[in-house]
Amino acid sequence: MSKGLFISFEGTEGCGKSTQVRLLTDRLQSLGHRVKTLREPGGTPIGEEIRHTLKHSKANHAMTAEAELLLMNASRAQLVREIIRPALAAGEIVVCDRFYDSTTAYQGHGRELDLEKVKAVIDFAVGDTRPDLTLFLHVPPAVSAARLRSRQENLPFVRDRIEEADQKFFERVAHGFGVIAAAEPQRIKSINGAQPVETVCAKIWELVQPILPRIGRW
């Protein structure tokens, strides 16, 4: 059975994931690869409804950390079975803006849920569907905040419940990503996301290009 390649992007808000996901997708497609570009939470019709509930629904003020954990993984379980597994089985490249490391960072470290229980929920949601490569863009909090401010100025205000968390929460998330990356250096590659877009893009390509020949040969 042919098998594709699964690449996830991770990092704190404003680290530049979405920008780099777009650039990588364009480059891979221009080389003739079939690419599925996804985001979490979301990526399927059910997942996008869950995303709305998690971020923007008027009724979500009272959401507990446990409900948040389960909703993130409900969206993920759907995405894995509806899109990711069929795409990988067909030899496509899946590029995903966030995957389960975000749950460990935000719900585990950020919301301070028991990390073993968080892992058990993730394992149930994804089974053996794991990224081959995870690109972790790290930026200092001040850079991330400045980028989000400047983006906000150009967008209509849309309420996002997760962004309303306090500063300590985001500090725990940032620390959590560091712990996660250090624990799996084979899969997770850290890149300084504070560099210019083109520099980050070139570093990512240095990591992606060598593994492209694996497609179809797993």
Rounded (5°) CA angle 106-112-115: 85
CB 13 within 8 A of CB 98: no
Q: Which is nearer to ligand Z5A, 25 or 34 (CB)?
A: 25
**Burial annotation 149-170 (CB, 10 A radius, 16+ → b, else e):** eeeeeeeeeeeeebeeeeeebb
CB 174 within 8 A of CB 110: no
Q: Which residues bind ligand Z5A (CB under 6 A)?
A: 11, 13-19, 39-41, 72, 98, 102-103, 106-107, 147, 151, 162-163, 196-197, 200
Q: Please give the Cα distance from 180 to 123 (Å, whole number).
A: 16
Q: Please give the Cα distance from 92 to 215 (Å, whole number).
A: 8
Half-sphere exposure of 138 (CA within 13 A, CB side): 16
Tokens standing for residue 198: 């083109």
CB of 15 to ligand Z5A, least distance (A): 4
CB of 112 to ligand Z5A, least distance (A): 13
Q: Which is nearer to ligand Z5A, 185 or 196 (CB)?
A: 196
Cis status, amide bond into 196, omega within 30 of 0: no
CB of 98 to ligand Z5A, least distance (A): 4
CB of 86 to ligand Z5A, least distance (A): 20
Q: Which is nearer to ligand Z5A, 98 or 172 (CB)?
A: 98
Q: Which is nearer to ligand Z5A, 99 or 215 (CB)?
A: 99
CB of 103 to ligand Z5A, least distance (A): 4
Q: Which is nearer to ligand Z5A, 184 or 214 (CB)?
A: 184
CB 213 within 8 A of CB 159: no
Q: Please give the Cα distance from 58 to 50 (Å, whole number).
A: 13
CB of 213 to ligand Z5A, least distance (A): 28
Q: Which is nearer to ligand Z5A, 106 or 177 (CB)?
A: 106
